[in-house]
Chain A
Amino acid sequence: MIGKFLGRVGLLTIVILVLPIGSSWSADSDGPSSLREIKKEIKELAADREQALEKIQRLEKRVDQLENENAQIKAANTQIKTETVQTTEEVKTLQQSVEEGPSPGGMAKAVQGYLGSHTFTLTGSAGMDYIADQQSGALAGLPHQTQNSFFLDWEPMMLYRPNDWMLFEGVLGATFGNNGTGVDLSDALIYLFPNDFTTIVGGLFDLPFGDWYEDQSPMWVNKFVSAPLPYGVEPVVPPSELGLQLRNGMQWGDVGQDLDYTVYVGQGPGYSANVPGAVANSPVAIASKQTNGKAFGGRFRVYPIPLDSNLGRLELGVSSYDGKWLDGKWLTSWGVDFAYLMGSLQARGEWVSSYRQMPAPYSTDNRQGWYLQLGYYLNQLNLPGVPDELNTYIHRLEPLIRYSGVNQHYVDTDDIVAATGVGAGGIQMGLIPDFGLSGSPALYAPHSREVAFGLDYWIAPSIVWQNEFDLELPHAGGTFINGAGMTSAAGSIPNDKAFLSQFTIGF
């Protein structure tokens, strides 16, 4: 438009410039007045041109302004559209969040924040137990009875964590059995984790000797209902200590190749004192009160197989426990153990030996015990021709077998009639079973032997129905000693059979 206008102005200027030439040809007759008019017109045209140029400039500015405003409006419009999309998405997300509720992680953070830094958790285990023991024979002079009884056991473990380097743990054992209810304090200890390389433990603790007391004794962890003989009613080493531990583990090679140690000092081994001089009795759960009976021990484990080799996980361990048990008389013990895990196969075993110096006229009380245990989950077994539903039940089964035995010189007959097991609640009369113990007289043979068959049905990783059939096959030999210190040869002990069934939950 502006170009067209400029073109017209230019054309007009040319006409004006040319016209005077034509006019001059006839100006000979008009004279100076015509020339003045022409000049005037030229001036007017020049003024018009100036005005037109100014107008053009104003219009150009206006066009620029309008174009800017238009661009701003377009940008604003785009921004509004984007924000509208974002807002719609946010509303959708909010609606979805409201409909789904808080995530477990978010909920956990909220709960943890609400609970504060001092936290408390109750875990542990509980179980119900049925025992049938047809006692075909018993030990001479001891009352016995055929058993067909139910038992209940509850072992809560309380954990209190005031900060990330300290933990308190207390374990109670409460049993309801033939003699009523009994409660016992199994563990009460404090863990300190000063750094990645040290753990300090103090209090009443399971003896770090072999795998049984510390790691395998909880009822839902033990694959069988009963304990293997070296850790049963006539244990080779005491089950607990009161003292101080220093322990930790480290990786020495590839992932899975670890080693660990535990060293400890304690109050000293404790033995029941039914026989005068406590000469031949069994170790008792609570550590000795004798101030001269200090003890020390250690445990070392190594895991030689790397995880990535897919050759399973092998644990090899050695243990030692030594202490004065009476007026300078020493108990010396040691043991070796292994555990192997490969897919559905699990195997473990231990050899334990102890020597105890005795007051005259008794000879050294030496005891040896062992067990070997095998288990195989059927979770990979798919029987052909069997409905899938039935196979899912079969997958939950774990058949087991265990052979265990103990050799010892003496068995205290008072130990046989006394309360056994955790929380039995006082002295019992006769060969009465307890939670996880068949009460068979053959268990108290100086040379007891047992073959145990097990079949576990796993409902969940920590909920199991366990069934066990025991064949007690004691060897002859050894000595019985009574509360008056009278001894008699044990001779042959009748074989026995027992059935134990237990439903247990680790919570």
Chain B
Amino acid sequence: MKKILIALILIGSVTGSIVNPCRAAEETKAEKRELIRLGAKLWPVYCNQCHNARPGSEFAPYQWDQIMMHMRALPNLPAQNARAILEYLKAGRD
């Protein structure tokens, strides 16, 4: 049991920094536009994989921040794709 736990922690440590998490670097406007474009492509497919895709207008941007953390974890979305979908959903409110 202890060995398994130690192995899990080691894997986590090796695969990336534990201290500074997945905080996205400040994106330029062009990068953000590109993310939104990718998100628009992924949103209908990735979300519909499990349930009907819900439009960005259903929640406030700060709520999408939370919901997408949950939604990144359950289907194990690649981090970049999760960020793209999040930006697309939040852009739906602008």
- Where the two chains meet, the residues of A that have a C-beta atom closer than 8 Å to any C-beta of B are 103-105, 108, 111-112, 115, 119, 121, 123, 159-161, 164-165, 167, 169, 191-201, 211, 214-216, 218, 220-221, 244, 246-251, 255-256, 258, 260-263, 265, 294, 296, 301, 307, 313, 315, 339, 341, 346, 458, 461-462, 506
| Total cross-chain contacts (CB, 8 A) | 158
- Contact A194-B94, Cβ < 8 Å, known A199-B73, A214-B74: no
> Which 7 residue pairs spanning A and B have beta carbons closest together?
A195-B16, A165-B21, A260-B76, A249-B76, A105-B94, A196-B79, A461-B52
B60 touches A108 (CB 8 A): yes
B41-64 vs A, CB cutoff 8 Å, 1 = contact: the mask equals 110010011111111001111110
* Cβ 8 A contact of A121, one of B8, B21, B63, B77: B63
Whole-angstrom CA separation of A121 from B45 in the bound complex: 25
Whole-angstrom CA separation of A144 from B19 in the bound complex: 59
Main secondary structure of the interface of A (DSSP, over half): strand
* Cβ 8 A contact of A220, one of B48, B51, B90: B51
Whole-angstrom CA separation of A339 from B50 in the bound complex: 9
* Cβ 8 A contact of A197, one of B5, B16, B20, B70: B16
- Contact A164-B12, Cβ < 8 Å, known A201-B73, A221-B50: no
A307 touches B41 (CB 8 A): yes
Contact residues on B (Cβ < 8 Å of other chain), bracket: 35 or more
- Where the two chains meet, the residues of B that have a C-beta atom closer than 8 Å to any C-beta of A are 1, 4-5, 8, 11-12, 15-23, 38, 41-42, 45, 48-55, 58-63, 65-67, 69-70, 72-81, 90, 93-94
- Name which residue of chain A comes closest to B90, CB basis: A108
For B41, what are the chain A residues with a Cβ–Cβ distance below 8 Å? 255, 307
- Name which residue of chain B comes closest to A199, CB basis: B73
- Name which residue of chain A comes closest to B82, CB basis: A249
For B80, what are the chain A residues with a Cβ–Cβ distance below 8 Å? 196, 251
For A506, what are the chain B residues with a Cβ–Cβ distance below 8 Å? 51, 54
For A199, what are the chain B residues with a Cβ–Cβ distance below 8 Å? 72-73, 76
* Cβ 8 A contact of A341, one of B8, B49, B58, B90: B49
A165 touches B66 (CB 8 A): no
- Name which residue of chain B comes closest to A105, CB basis: B94
Whole-angstrom CA separation of A313 from B42 in the bound complex: 11
A167 touches B54 (CB 8 A): no
For A260, what are the chain B residues with a Cβ–Cβ distance below 8 Å? 75-77
For B5, what are the chain A residues with a Cβ–Cβ distance below 8 Å? 244, 265
- Name which residue of chain B comes closest to A308, CB basis: B41
A195 touches B38 (CB 8 A): no
* Cβ 8 A contact of B22, one of A164, A296, A458: A164
A217, chain B: closest CB distance, angstroms: 11
- Contact A244-B93, Cβ < 8 Å, known A199-B72, A215-B50: no
For B17, what are the chain A residues with a Cβ–Cβ distance below 8 Å? 194-195
B73 touches A191 (CB 8 A): yes
Whole-angstrom CA separation of A104 from B58 in the bound complex: 12
* Cβ 8 A contact of A265, one of B1, B15, B78: B1
- Contact A194-B12, Cβ < 8 Å, known A108-B61, A161-B65, A199-B72: yes
For B65, what are the chain A residues with a Cβ–Cβ distance below 8 Å? 119, 161, 164
B22 touches A159 (CB 8 A): no
A123 touches B22 (CB 8 A): no
A247 touches B76 (CB 8 A): yes
For A197, what are the chain B residues with a Cβ–Cβ distance below 8 Å? 15-16, 79
A112 touches B61 (CB 8 A): yes
A255 touches B73 (CB 8 A): no
B75 touches A215 (CB 8 A): yes
B75 touches A461 (CB 8 A): no
B18 touches A194 (CB 8 A): yes
For A111, what are the chain B residues with a Cβ–Cβ distance below 8 Å? 60, 62
B21 touches A193 (CB 8 A): yes
Whole-angstrom CA separation of A96 from B76 in the bound complex: 45
